[in-house]
Amino acid sequence: GEAAGGEARNDVSATALPSGHPSISADEPEDVGDGAQVAETESTVERLEARRDEQPGDVRVLLDLGEAYFMAERLDEAEQAYSQALETEPGSTAARVGLAMVWHAQGKSGRAEEALRAVLEEHPDDQDAHYSLAIVLFSNGEIDAAKEEWQTAAAIDPKTVTGRRSQSFVDLLDDGESSSPHSSD
């Protein structure tokens, strides 16, 4: 998508995201992943599926299963797990954010952005929603808007994993701006 309002675009590309990041994993060479990681992910999925079968109404299990399916690139199943979590707990922001990221990975970035903005309208301090919206915006080439979302996520709580990751992206983008031959564009 085009950056709104004549927003400046930096020369940092989506390939600057760290290896293994869900929004770019499809562009990575096939031999990047190691077999042990794939086996571990599948083992986690199997374990969580068994827990879901034992405790079908446990939202935490459904959220963990959605994430495991997402990491295993089983997007339809991830969408189903997050949707089930939302049926069980209709206001679950974690399920809404997870579902939005599944839609993003499925190529439905507009739908993902809309869902994340809706979460943030209700919960302006949701760190994961800001972080996830930054990923969607970054993938759409809206670098400055993504940086703002990462800055917001980092400021909410800089000590969490999400806060530290957000700050890392801000720092990466700041480094990209200062070293870019086109930074005055």
Express each pLDDT in 85-124 by its tens digit: 999 999 999 999 999 999 999 999 999 999 999 999 999 9
Structure-block tokens of residue 28 = 């990575």
**Helices and strands of the chain, counted as H and E runs:** 8, 0
* Tens digit of each residue's pLDDT (9 = 90 or more) over 143-160: 999 999 999 999 999 999
Kindly report the backbone phi and psi dihedral angles of residue 4, in degrees, each rounded to the nearest multiple of 5, phi listed first.
-75, 150
Average model confidence (pLDDT) across the chain: 83
pTM of the prediction? 0.76
Q: By mean pLDDT, which of 7-16, 37-46, 156-165 is the weakest?
A: 7-16
8 A C-beta contact, residue 87 and residue 122? no
Q: How far is Cα of residue 134 from the mean position of the Cα atoms in its chain?
A: 8
One-letter amino acid at 130 equals H
Q: Rounded CA gap, 117 and 123, in Å?
A: 9
